Structure 1
């Protein structure tokens, strides 16, 4: 699995994710995978948890939706979620995705959910709960921290606890 964490703070948004790829439950295959990236002319950042091939398929599908809807993140996310539930090929994909632009922060899942967090923090993956708790604490007790620092520190905290998360953290900020 992995840990992906996104934070909105002080008018900035950032997403961070580790680079570990595991095979089954016992083997670390890679430590430098790129699970967060910018798309749509660097206006949107995304992060994935789940199967790598599935995640790449979803990224391509989502970028097509962004192009079709003129960069409207919310509409693109809803359309992707609807397709994900209905399309037999997409239904087999096992991944979750965080998508964000400068204004929106959303989780998109294969069960057709598009969720906007209440407190400007969202995290997914095996270490997601740890990263989310750490981010909320940092937001409340250290308001001068940047969104990028909070997201990165939260994934590193998750990596200290979750065996499927490593300290090779990549951050993308908008």
Structure 2
């Protein structure tokens, strides 16, 4: 695993497309139990090299009901985004994760993490890649029907502050999904 992580951290596969240059951000261990599969690092995470080290990460940890110390223990949480580097900015926010990362690196990483009990699929990119035709008509329906994907996957909306309006329009998320997610965490941890 150590060798693979070092190889990934030195990856320059899509360097020509990265406005801030390559800086792959991930964390994983052979003993990881929960795999957090998000989108791609933002500028703050790119600068610090610490995954989910921003407002989105704080909200995700609240949903999970875990402390930062627990979340950042790779023996418990593997953090493997769809794109490992900051992809740049578009009209409505950050650009999508680079398409090269997941097919290039995820299979090798998953092979080295045999103890994964649950994969958190955060956002549409992770859900599209891992659920394929099994996902629902849109992200809202996929997240609402999260039970259909257990015990392997738990689809979530992205915890970005930009999604506060989505959460306000979908109060069932906080009422039903967050408690179910915490129950999953308790049973695994």
Normalising by structure 1, we get a TM-score of 0.35
Larger Rg: 2
Q: Which has the higher contact order (CA 8 A, sep 6+)?
A: 1
Q: Which one has a larger percent strand, Structure 1 or Structure 2?
A: 1
TM-score, normalisation: structure 2: 0.33
